[in-house]
Structure 1
Amino acid sequence: MAIKLHDFNGEHSLTWDAGGLAADAAVAGAGHEPNGYFWEGLVRFTWPDIAERLGFDSEAGMFCAVGSPGDLERLKTAVESVITSPEAVRDLIARAKTSGFEFDD
């Protein structure tokens, strides 16, 4: 699984392919679809301080955030350990559920 940082004509984005991630089984086990929209919701819930400064263009098969190189680097560092850890994802989904957060997956 590779998180990719892109620079297209001065527009910076961060992407990864949804599906095939180590955490997918935990996402599905919690009743969610492990698609780009789910991951966008997880980012918005878990790192709202970063998410509020980003734009999102996620799809079913891909997560995509658009923003400054600094914010995207911060997000990349934060999310790398989560998308590879079923335990971390289960914990974050449980926290989101407790807080009343609704995923749009």
Structure 2
Amino acid sequence: MKKSFNMQKESIKEKTKELSEICDVKACAVIVRADGTVETWPENRNDVREVIQMYKNCDRKRKRPQELDRESKAKQELLRMIDAKLAQVKKRIQFLKSNDQGSNQDEAISR
């Protein structure tokens, strides 16, 4: 069992290294044994931390589909509310214009 684990572990490290080199991408492998021992590729923990931090930063920038749906629905609702308010403002302007025109006509008649 230990021999199989070591073979698989080395295979994972080698494949991660190949992926990184061939595709020119930052990659890392983190392998945790049952006893809690951690092994990584690359072996330099600072390099691994850099890749993990890049992943975390990238994940913050990306939105999950559900978040996009919620955000999109919220924007649509906000636009509906703005359109409704705008329609009310336009009606109010028309009302005020018609009242103003009526006042101006009344003044002209009384002169």
Short-chain TM bin: under 0.3
* TM-score, length basis structure 1: 0.22
Larger radius of gyration: 2
Report the structure, 1 or 2, having the larger helix content. 2
* TM-score, length basis structure 2: 0.21
Whose RCO is larger (CA < 8 A, sep 6+)?
1
Report the structure, 1 or 2, having the larger strand content. 1
